[in-house]
Structure 1
Amino acid sequence: MQEMFEGLPWWVKWVAVPAIALFVFGGLIFSLLGFVIALLFKVLIFAALVGGLIYVVRKFMSSSSSRSDW
């Protein structure tokens, strides 16, 4: 592989080849990147909702256990 790029100018290795790779695989790369970002966002939303639920339940449990007029 290295012999193939040996006599070529630097811009072919560092500009043209990555540009062609982005052109060919760009849709796949962006769809995978979008999937990962959406998954991370859903994990963060899930963690925030579970944390909020635990907070509300503990707050309700501590306020209801302090009342003895039931």
Structure 2
Amino acid sequence: MPFKDVFANLPWWVTWIAIPAIALFVFGGLILSLVGIVLGLLFKALVFVALVGGLIFVVRKFISASASSHDRW
């Protein structure tokens, strides 16, 4: 019995509402955990990029200020 034949005689609401609802009920915790992990990694990546960018900005300002003070002598 092919997989398509199983759903052939069922009403549309079973295929499009009941089965996805059962899947969300069974796998909902797993889906939320995976979404949380992905969002957490994205947030950490953004924080990392911001910190590295800030560090580069501060170091360049310090180097340019140090170089300009040497030029005065």
Runs (5+) with no aligned partner, structure 2? none
Q: Does 1:58 align with 2:60?
A: yes
Moved over 6 A (4+): none
Residue of structure 1 in register with 2:40 after alignment:
38
Number of residues of Structure 1 aligned to a counterpart in Structure 2: 70
Q: Name the % identity.
A: 66
Q: Distance in 2 between matches of 1:16 and 1:2?
A: 17
Amino acid at match of 1:64: S
Q: What do you get for the CA RMSD once the two structures are aligned?
A: 1.2
Q: Could you say what secondary structure the match of 2:9 adopts?
A: coil
Q: Distance in 1 between matches of 2:4 and 2:44?
A: 42
TM-score (norm 1): 0.95
